[in-house]
Chains A and B, each alone.
Chain A
């Protein structure tokens, strides 16, 4: 499955964050590491779409005390998502081969 750039970034953020990969954290990770400021709904839409495509999965976990007590969704990359990310990286690497460094 071919991934768009934002999809790749969001999945990588999910993978990096591990068990802390909920929506707000994914968005902050994009800002912090990728220096990409993405609108809140866009991040969530991307997560929902990735979940519909079976590339990420989410589970509802209770929040820690002091955070309102409401459950929240934590995402993790599925094996299919992992394969799609690997394929994207290989594609990019192949394309970069032979391109002179500037």
Chain B
């Protein structure tokens, strides 16, 4: 075309020829040429080229190309289909049908594949949903993706610096890429109603700008406004929907009424709609009145800063602007800001620790696991494909293109992966439903706080993620083995088909992968086995005899989190003073038979420290600690076994360190070798510090549940109460219905210290049950992971053995014909197949022993037991392929081999 006069320039000529196939296409090309010739006679310069470009860019050109090429393809496939026997099924549907038949024909492979993929895809999907709550949560706020949080990060100590009120003032004045910048301080008052009821609520002292960033209109009244922040303005509060419903019974005339929040009285000016709990699980909002710029740097309360990206701005731009501002602040205030760096991120992430958690690494690890699993299933598919060499060869010889065969094998894998993904979605839904119930129970118990935006649901993003995983699985499971198989030239395939084997070697990588999986399984199994006795054993004997149901514990906390350690010490002392007063009032109540103030109670987790016994007969060991008052053992109905109780001489309120201690039975047995404990002396050790003063043991008491989760760590010491350390907890025993007494307890607490929060009012039984439940779930999680890992590694071993059998079928037949016994053949096969598994077991045993030594998660005995169990499981996995090998008939094999 290019050589003739009037021909299109070569690239365009080729393009149009390619685009327009068939007779009609040729005519279109000739018409274009004619028209181009006319254009060239009329115009000079670039115009003819521009004309060609315009023709190429026309939508009608591409529509025509699509239609002509489609018609061309149909024409081409008609005779080929007729030659194959005239199936009228479209090719893609035929592939699906074939794939489905293959899955039915190999039920073991299908079950293993679907199950492994379900578990892995399900795990990955559940983790995706879980981590999305941190990385990219969905807040029910207008344009929530433009909401940002700004924090001060101390690079010297690698921690967050929350005393950023002054910096907030500077940012608000100077930042241009972030608008509506506001700040809030966590606020946890007791809400006290006119009839004396008291409820701890969560809220914020918040600037009107931070409140307005959410762009949510109140249900009633008005939001917080700037005038509320002025000194001397009326104390106002905006209530959350739930508080309004519970405390004011949804009364629409609530505006203008007053409510007590701790010691201060606030006028209700607004009620927010249902579901609005911004910024973080809030129920009440009061104005933040501190003047940021009047506050010295690194002074004032602990603030969080929130804003909205300006219309034309982006987070990168804001980051750059903030970094520049941070440098300037560091230069202007080197004494306070030298190591402080402001950083900006999405609001939810700054509130919920997202950037500091390794979620991307977790996702990458799960993806890697998926690839390993798919590689296992892919190895099985490859082993099966080896038996299909004749089929593939015949199709190739009859003219099927390599792409056509690849497509068919890929579609088979897609069906397998899709079934796996469906199973995974179901599994993820089920496991997340379970997790939602577990977390809800912990939230009710007050031991877990999840942000209000938390969701355990597979949303659209998660389903897209699963779809991506499905494609990835299909590629690894089907496409890669198919590519490896079809890479052989037809001539070689014909030879292989004649011999009855596919023979391309099995990759070292797959063997190494199998070894690693087996190793991981052994390690996990060892951890799970080591936990088993604790969980399956009887309930903690040290709790027997305690008045678990009738004894209630509770904790007192200050309304606002203290900003400095000095403030913390003051707050602790003040809180203890309130607790002691509350204890006095409680003791006067007729239903209450005992009251005690202690740092920890039976069933709760106790702090642990290293203790040295005078005389040094036994090496120092970790012991549990509790600070108690003299009424503790009476309240727990636990008489002393020897010696005396603490009395008023021991409780030193002048801050002097304690000089006495009471040991429990396990302490005496393990650290004093059951010798007489009274009068012996102990002291605390701390790494890098001087040992503490010697304490004299004055009494011995039975084990009182200091370590429910680990009976091995039951040894403990009781120290006299000092009334200055966190946490401030107390317990009381009631006669009759304890839950009916809780409102009275809250009323008393509100009278004594309206600014304090009364938290976690629970019976000792509830504490122990909650601890055991958490432990049980953790164990189930480990067990599930172990079983999954075990299943995966067995799949790997099965795949290796299967492949070896299919690869060596002719050889085995010949050896049988030459007189080899079944045992000899089984041994040859198993030694080869078991080599990676044995390597894995050795690795796993080392891992298990290492974990046992470092983290106390097992022992050599457990590791050996688990390794033997794994060996048995691996042998079991080899049985089916080995039986298949021994079933090879010599005549067939020899015929195929020759």
Binding site for B on A (CB under 8 A): 22-24, 27, 39-42, 44-45, 47-49, 52, 58, 60, 70-73
When A and B form their complex, what is the total count of cross-chain residue pairs whose Cβ atoms lie within 8 Å? 56
Instruction: List 20 additional contacts besides A39-B58, A45-B67; criterion CB under 8 Å.
Output: A23-B28, A24-B30, A24-B34, A27-B31, A40-B35, A41-B64, A44-B24, A44-B28, A47-B24, A48-B64, A48-B68, A48-B71, A49-B67, A58-B24, A60-B23, A70-B26, A71-B23, A72-B23, A72-B26, A73-B23
Contact of A45 among B27, B34, B64 (CB under 8 A): B64
Residues in B neighbouring A60, C-beta threshold 8 A:
23
Residue of B31, B34, B68 with highest tally of chain A CB at under 10 A: B31
Is B144 on the interface with A (CB-CB < 8 A)? Answer: no
Nearest neighbor of A44 in chain B, beta-carbon distance: B28
Query: Contact: A23 with B31, CB < 8 Å?
Result: yes
Residues in A neighbouring B825, C-beta threshold 8 A:
none
Nearest neighbor of A52 in chain B, beta-carbon distance: B67
Nearest neighbor of A70 in chain B, beta-carbon distance: B26
Contact of A41 among B23, B26, B30, B61 (CB under 8 A): B61
CA distance A52 to B24 in the complex (A): 14
Is B534 on the interface with A (CB-CB < 8 A)? Answer: no
Residues in B neighbouring A72, C-beta threshold 8 A:
23-24, 26-27
Nearest neighbor of B68 in chain A, beta-carbon distance: A48
Query: Contact: A39 with B55, CB < 8 Å?
Result: yes
Residues in A neighbouring B55, C-beta threshold 8 A:
39-41
Is B60 on the interface with A (CB-CB < 8 A)? Answer: yes
Q: Report the minimum CB–CB distance from A99 to chain B (whole Å).
A: 33
CA distance A44 to B63 in the complex (A): 10
Nearest neighbor of A75 in chain B, beta-carbon distance: B24
Residues in A neighbouring B71, C-beta threshold 8 A:
48
Contact of A48 among B23, B24, B32, B58 (CB under 8 A): B24
> Provided the pairs A48-B67, A48-B68 are in contact, do residues A39 and B60 lie with their beta carbons within 8 angstroms?
yes
| B interface size (C-beta, 8 A) | 20
Residues in A neighbouring B27, C-beta threshold 8 A:
22-24, 44, 72-73
CA distance A49 to B26 in the complex (A): 18
Query: Contact: B63 with A40, CB < 8 Å?
Result: no
- The proximity string for B residues 43-71 relative to A, scoring 1 for CB distances below 8 Å and 0 otherwise, is 00000000000010010110110011001
Closest 8 CB pairs of A and B: A41-B60, A42-B60, A41-B61, A45-B64, A40-B31, A41-B64, A24-B31, A23-B27
Residues in A neighbouring B23, C-beta threshold 8 A:
60, 70-73
User: Could you write out 10 A-B pairs with CB less than 8 Å apart?
Assistant: A23-B24, A23-B31, A41-B55, A44-B20, A44-B28, A45-B63, A47-B24, A70-B23, A70-B26, A73-B23
Residues in B neighbouring A41, C-beta threshold 8 A:
28, 55, 58, 60-61, 63-64
Residue of A41, A70, A71 with highest tally of chain B CB at under 10 A: A41
Instruction: Tell me what chain A mostly uses at the interface: helix, strand, loop, or mixed.
Output: helix
Q: Report the minimum CB–CB distance from B63 to chain A (whole Å).
A: 5
Residue of B24, B30, B68 with highest tally of chain A CB at under 10 A: B24
List residues 747-800 of chain B with CB under 8 A from any CB of chain A: none
Binding site for A on B (CB under 8 A): 20, 23-24, 26-28, 30-32, 34-35, 55, 58, 60-61, 63-64, 67-68, 71
Residues in B neighbouring A73, C-beta threshold 8 A:
23-24, 27
Residues in B neighbouring A40, C-beta threshold 8 A:
28, 31-32, 35, 55
Residues in B neighbouring A22, C-beta threshold 8 A:
27
Nearest neighbor of A37 in chain B, beta-carbon distance: B35
Residue of A45, A71, A72 with highest tally of chain B CB at under 10 A: A45
CA distance A39 to B31 in the complex (A): 10
Query: Contact: A44 with B64, CB < 8 Å?
Result: yes
CA distance A58 to B64 in the complex (A): 16
Residues in A neighbouring B32, C-beta threshold 8 A:
40
Residues in B neighbouring A44, C-beta threshold 8 A:
20, 24, 27-28, 64
CA distance A91 to B19 in the complex (A): 38
Q: Report the minimum CB–CB distance from B780 to chain A (whole Å).
A: 61
CA distance A12 to B31 in the complex (A): 20
Residues in B neighbouring A45, C-beta threshold 8 A:
60, 63-64, 67
CA distance A44 to B257 in the complex (A): 78
CA distance A72 to B71 in the complex (A): 16
Residues in A neighbouring B20, C-beta threshold 8 A:
44
Q: Report the minimum CB–CB distance from B197 to chain A (whole Å).
A: 74
Residues in B neighbouring A58, C-beta threshold 8 A:
24
CA distance A23 to B35 in the complex (A): 13
Q: Report the minimum CB–CB distance from B454 to chain A (whole Å).
A: 53
CA distance A79 to B68 in the complex (A): 24
CA distance A44 to B62 in the complex (A): 12
Residues in A neighbouring B26, C-beta threshold 8 A:
70, 72
Q: Report the minimum CB–CB distance from B57 to chain A (whole Å).
A: 11
Q: Report the minimum CB–CB distance from A5 to chain B (whole Å).
A: 15
CA distance A70 to B30 in the complex (A): 12
CA distance A38 to B31 in the complex (A): 12
CA distance A39 to B52 in the complex (A): 12
Residues in B neighbouring A49, C-beta threshold 8 A:
67
Q: Report the minimum CB–CB distance from B589 to chain A (whole Å).
A: 89
Residues in A neighbouring B35, C-beta threshold 8 A:
40
CA distance A70 to B71 in the complex (A): 19
Query: Contact: B58 with A42, CB < 8 Å?
Result: yes
CA distance A43 to B71 in the complex (A): 17
Residues in A neighbouring B64, C-beta threshold 8 A:
41, 44-45, 48
CA distance A59 to B60 in the complex (A): 23
CA distance A27 to B32 in the complex (A): 11
